[in-house]
Amino acid sequence: MTADVVRLLHEYEPAVIGIGASAGAIDALGRLLPVLPPTLRAPLVVVVHVPPDWQSGLPALLSANCSLPIAEAEDKVAAQPGHVYFAPPNYHLLIERDGCLALSADEPVNFSRPSIDVLLESVALGFGRRALGILLSGANADGAAGMAAIKAHGGLTWVQEPATARVATMPEAALRLADHQVLDPAAMGRALADWGNRNDGR
C-alpha cells in the first residue's frame, strides 16, 4: 500500500499539502509530522479547529519532536517548501495560486473559523492536480467538501482510517461524500518521508 502511495506522490509531485483536523488533532499530527524530512518540496498548510479566544500553542507543542519549521501563518507570506503553517485562532487560512498565504475574517463556515473547507477549497482551486489534501480526526463534517473539491480538480486525497481516529466523524463524512485513499497518520508520514527523501536523491 505505501509503495503505491509513494508512487502517486512522485507522479503528481504535490506543490502544496493541505491538512485539516479537529478533535484528536494533536494525536494524529503527532504521528504524522515528526517523521517528515526538511527535503519535502511542498509546504504543509494546516487548519485545526480551536476556540476563537484560544492562544494557539500548537506550533510550539509540535515543534519539539519535528525537524520541519512550524509556525503560525501570517497574511501575504509566501509558503516555503518543507515548512508547516498553522491557521491562527479565529481566522480562515487560504493559500493563493502564487503560493502566498492569506488570512480572512469572513463568517464561520461549518460553524468554524478557521474552516477546513475554506483551506482545502483554496488548495483545490489554486493547485489542481498538484494538490494533496489530508483530513484527520475530528468531530464534524468540516473538510468533507474541501476534500471532494481537491479530488474533483485532479489532486490526491488522504483520509485518516476512521478506526485509528480519536473521533471518526470527520473522516467518515469525507468518505461518504467521495472516494479517498484511507491511511493511518503514521503511514501518511512514512509515505511523505519516503517521497521527500527520494527528492533528496537518497
Q: Indicate the residue type of 65.
A: N
Please give the angle made by the CA atoms of 186, 191 and 196, to the nearest 5 degrees: 125
What number of other Cβ atoms are within 10 A of residue 113's Cβ?
A: 22
Chain centroid to Cα 120, Å, comes to 8
Separation of alpha carbons 96 and 86, rounded Å: 15
Separation of alpha carbons 82 and 151, rounded Å: 23
Separation of alpha carbons 112 and 155, rounded Å: 24
Give the pairing of strands 131-135 and 16-21.
Answer: parallel
Distances (CA, A) of 119 to 1, 6, 67, 140, 151: 28, 24, 24, 16, 14
Bridge partner residues of 159 (DSSP): 135, 182
Residues with active-site annotation: 22, 49, 142
Q: Where are the alpha helices (DSSP H) in the chain?
A: 2-12, 25-32, 58-63, 116-127, 144-152, 169-177, 185-199
